[in-house]
Amino acid sequence: MALYLIGDLQGCLQPLLRLLEAVDFSPSRDTIYPLGDLVNRGPDSLGVLRHLMALQDAARPVLGNHDLHLLAAAAGVRQAGSKDTLSAILQARDRPQLIDWLRQQPLARLEHGWLMVHAGVLPSWNAHQALDLAGEVQAVLRSAQLQDFLTHMYGNLPAGWRSDLTGWERLRVVVNALTRLRFCTPDGVMEFAANGPRERAPEGYLPWFEVPGRRTLGQPVAFGHWSTLSLERPGQRPGWIEQTLGLDTGCLWGRPLTAARLGSEPGSYELISVPGQTGVAVSGQNRAGTGD
């Protein structure tokens, strides 16, 4: 049995198929954990969803901001934007099954010693708190409140976590942290405008994983979302920064699609990469994110 964490797919089916072939993936034996942003901006979001859904329990993704954006578009809460590539899903004969499958997926997983999220974890949260809060969002995604939730999901405020938050504000902070976070202050105030390399943090902000004393320190955390985050850091394993593993290596932008095969030792892994998407005309710069 092999376990693979996989960076952002964003509708890039062919790189995913190349990766699965490269590792001799078998759904009867192995499991993949795509780290969110399964869809959008790439050429075949419909193919990606159909393929993952067909793998059943051998594909165990978490949701990213683009996946939530698809749910909002399907619910009529938001119109697909000019850069979105969601129309094939929205017009598909099996759209109801695909959307229902997506609604069942969580925003975080804690499996095989790894906390898996799309973007980040606020410094005041430990792994189990992050999992519990993600569960609150998942319960609403699966409920009759879905449309109301999606209507109130967008926005940058509140910018930080408070335990007394309730209602839509509480869920919005959880969604923003788990699916959009890159930079925050040491006390957990989030910033969403910057999406460049971590060395270009806005004044007063840090990459979330570099906040001193964050409560997930010591817990391996795997995430995607941040394609400008370097995979190389001198003196450390590739991708391994402060006990976190960033796996969005920019497949959509023609860079590799990367997976980490988990090892038997806690926090151990082996990186595998295949060529990324080619021939995708995407205007603008690398801008991942519902609100970025």
Please report the pLDDT score of residue 289 as a whole number: 33
Please report the pLDDT score of residue 145 as a whole number: 97
Query: Is residue 118 in some structural domain?
Result: yes
pLDDT digits (tens, 9 = 90+) for 4-22: 999 999 999 999 999 999 9
Query: Is residue 281 in some structural domain?
Result: no
More confident residue, 283 or 159: 159
Query: Is residue 286 in some structural domain?
Result: no
Query: Is residue 285 in some structural domain?
Result: no
In whole angstroms, give the CA distance from residue 236 to residue 120.
20
Query: Is residue 291 in some structural domain?
Result: no
Question: Taking a C-beta distance cutoff of 8 angstroms, is the pair 3, 261 a contact?
Answer: yes
Which of 114-118, 232-236, 284-288 is the least confident region? 284-288
Total domains in the fold of the chain: 1
Question: Where residue 81 falls among pLDDT bands split at 50, 70, 90?
Answer: confident
CATH code for position 133: 3.60.21.10
- For residue 227, pLDDT over 80 is answered with yes
pLDDT digits (tens, 9 = 90+) for 264-285: 888 889 999 999 988 654 433 3
Query: Is residue 124 in some structural domain?
Result: yes
pLDDT digits (tens, 9 = 90+) for 185-198: 999 999 999 988 88
- For residue 74, pLDDT over 90 is answered with yes
Domain span including residue 215: 3-274
Its pTM stands at 0.93
Please report the pLDDT score of residue 280 as a whole number: 54
What is the average pLDDT across 174-184? 98
Query: Is residue 284 in some structural domain?
Result: no
